[in-house]
Amino acid sequence: MNGSVVPSWREGDLTWLRFASLRTRACVLPDWLSQLFPGSPPLAAATAGGEQGYLVLQWPDDFALQRLLPPVDAGDYTGRALICTAAQPQWGAAAVQLRYFAPQYGVVEDAATGSAMRVLAHYWSPRHSHLTAHQASQAGGLLLSRYQSSHVEVGGRCIDTEARADD
């Protein structure tokens, strides 16, 4: 992608990718969030990347993100993809949940999102240097991250969709 080289390797049945860190910056919660998530407002927000980057939205610990309805009109308010997250301490010390919405880019909800994990690794780094993230999409997914100030490693089990289609 754009001449990028992404180091990758296998550890057992996990595939890992290494990316440069993408830093998040805390921001004020936008007023329009009450339109997208009525009755379930997030606690905190942060941005990553440019105007077409990401908006991280954090709900209280133990909040079940499955309760959120996909914000199909998010593009009316922002050009940023929305990464919704909540810590899930009952699942483990470094467990979080996430959902990824980008309907303005044709992705109502992504099933398992390594690019979102790259952002969340930095966002959650004050609390955890590694994460286990459960993607709360209908298809679900489990993603892992290891954060270093210079880079982020994102891992998980990968499925070859072309090989699967041939089965």
Contact, 98 vs 65, CB < 8 A?
Answer: yes
In the chain, domain spans:
8-166
- Are the C-beta atoms of 62 and 88 separated by less than 8 Å? yes
Write out pLDDT tens, residues 100-121: 999 988 989 988 788 899 999 9
Phi, then psi, of 117 in degrees rounded to 5: -65, -35
User: What is the per-residue pLDDT across 49-74, written as a single tens digit (0 to 9) for each?
Assistant: 999 999 999 999 999 999 999 999 99
Residue 3: pLDDT above 80? no
Give the pLDDT band (50/70/90) at residue 163: low
Which token pair is 136?
A: 């709360």
* φ/ψ (deg, to 5) at 56: -90, 130
> Is the predicted pLDDT of residue 90 greater than 70, yes or no?
yes
User: In 3D, which of 144, 106, 125 has the Cα closest to residue 11?
Assistant: 144
Per-residue model confidence (pLDDT) at position 69? 93
5-45 pLDDT, tens digit per residue, is 889 999 999 999 999 999 999 999 999 999 999 999 999 99
- b/e per residue 14-33 (b: at least 16 CB within 10 A): eebbbbebbebeeeeebeeb
Distance CA(11)–CA(90), nearest Å, equals 27
CATH number for the domain formed by residue range(s) 8-166: 3.10.310.10
